[in-house]
Amino acid sequence: MLLHRIEGEETVAATPYTTGLNRIADGCYAWFEPPGSWGLANSGIVVAGDEVLVVDTQNDVPRARNLRNAVREVAGPREITTVVNTHADGDHWFGNLLFEEARIFATEEAAAQMRELRRDPRIIRKTAEAAPGPALRNFLTWRADMFDYTGWRPVFPTDTVSTSKSLTVGGIQVDLIPVGPAHTTGDVLVHVPEHGVVFAGDIVFHRTTPMVWTGPLSNVVAACELILSLDPAVVVSGHGSAAERTGIRDLCDYLTMVHEHASARFAAGDTSFEAFKSIDLGRYRLWAHGSRVFQAINAVYRELDPDGEQVPYHEVMETVLAHDAY
Ligand SMILES: [Zn+2]
């Protein structure tokens, strides 16, 4: 028994958060990469009929190979016919080269962003050396040590969606629900109604501070509310353990709190950095990577003043990473 209900409505996800394959429902598995910090993303596997669906393909070649082997373990000779990349961050699609035989879905926006290949992992060490600040340089060096791109090449989505689309995989319905711009410009949720499972990508960071690259925050909250409205038994987050309703509600509360603080400081004439310095994270201070709130605050400022000056990526990362232990 993986799930049990308490007080009627609340579902407690009892799926352990251990590296690798974890069964979450009939034929449905989450692949976890604890502790789920930078670049360590979750994947999903759904085995149905004689087909397999994979959601997100891991960040590097060895991790993608491990995921591929895990599919064989639970699905035997069944064919991987469908892959979904939930968005364009590398930790969710760099492993596509191990799944080339499948149709690979993403939103139009995400696919376009992937094709830009702004952060080519093959040159990550060079990028680290050229980083304009010490925090970003150290971080990229850590990433270069952490992930292995030997033999890597980009494999892009073969199919794009711009509105909700239902697929049939091995006889069961799989709904792709675009919800961006939110975490990035082109996020998509994957809903498997028959098993009550949502693979949320980075719309859901579970009990760890979310990164909101694009925003608006209200779209992330709306996407979370949409997930709740699907009444899933389990939500596989992009980073962190499997989530239940309470975890999604906490995330909404956190984003609402950040939005309120940033809006008030914007109205008072503070810079986004000043708003970052003055925020009281309250009970969310226990979530790892708390300094990511700086980018969420920037997203609110962008929403309130679209023509205002944007804090450039490397400056955001200098501030966020200077306060982060990875
Ligand atoms: Zn991610």
Mean pLDDT by 10 residues, the chain (326 residues): 40 75 95 96 98 98 98 96 98 98 98 96 94 94 96 98 98 98 97 97 97 96 98 96 95 98 98 97 95 97 94 94 89
**Distance of CA 165 from the midpoint of ligand 1 (Å):** 23
Instruction: Output the pLDDT for position 8.
Output: 39
CA distance 96 to 229: 31
Q: What is the CATH number of the domain that holds 143?
A: 3.60.15.10
Question: How much is the pLDDT for 10?
Answer: 40
Which tokens hold the place of 304?
């309130």
CB atoms within 10 A of CB 17: 18
The encoded tokens of residue 230 equal 């699907």
Give the pLDDT score at 15: 83
114, containing H or E segment:
helix 108-116
Distance 309 CA to ligand 1 centre (A): 26
Cα angle value 110/116/120 (rounded, 5°): 105
Contacts of 8 (CB under 8 A, 6+ apart): none
304-309 contacts: CB < 8 A, separation 24 or more?
304/263, 304/266, 305/266
**Residue 309: count of CB within 10 angstroms of its CB:** 9
The neighbourhood of ligand 1, an ion, using CB within 5 A, equals 41, 89, 91, 202, 238
Percentages of the chain per state (helix, strand, coil), in multiples of 5: 40, 25, 35
Angstrom CA distances, 214 to 25, 54, 88, stand at 32, 25, 12
* φ/ψ bin of 212: left (φ > 0), alpha (ψ from -120 to 50), beta (otherwise): beta
Q: Determine the pLDDT at residue 203.
A: 98
φ, ψ for residue 48 (rounded to 5)? -145, 130
* Phi, psi angles (nearest 5°) of residue 291: -70, -10
pLDDT of residue 6: 39
DSSP H or E run through 225: helix 217-229
What pLDDT score was predicted for residue 326? Answer: 82
pLDDT at 5: 42
- Name the burial class of residue 312, with classes exposed (0-12), middle (13-18) and buried (19+) by CB atoms within 10 angstroms of its CB: exposed
Give distance in angstroms: CA of 310 to centre of ligand 1.
Answer: 23
Domain that holds residue 273: 3-322
Split into its structural domains, the chain has a count of 1
- What is the CA(40)–ligand 1 centre distance, in A? 7
pLDDT the model gives residue 325: 83
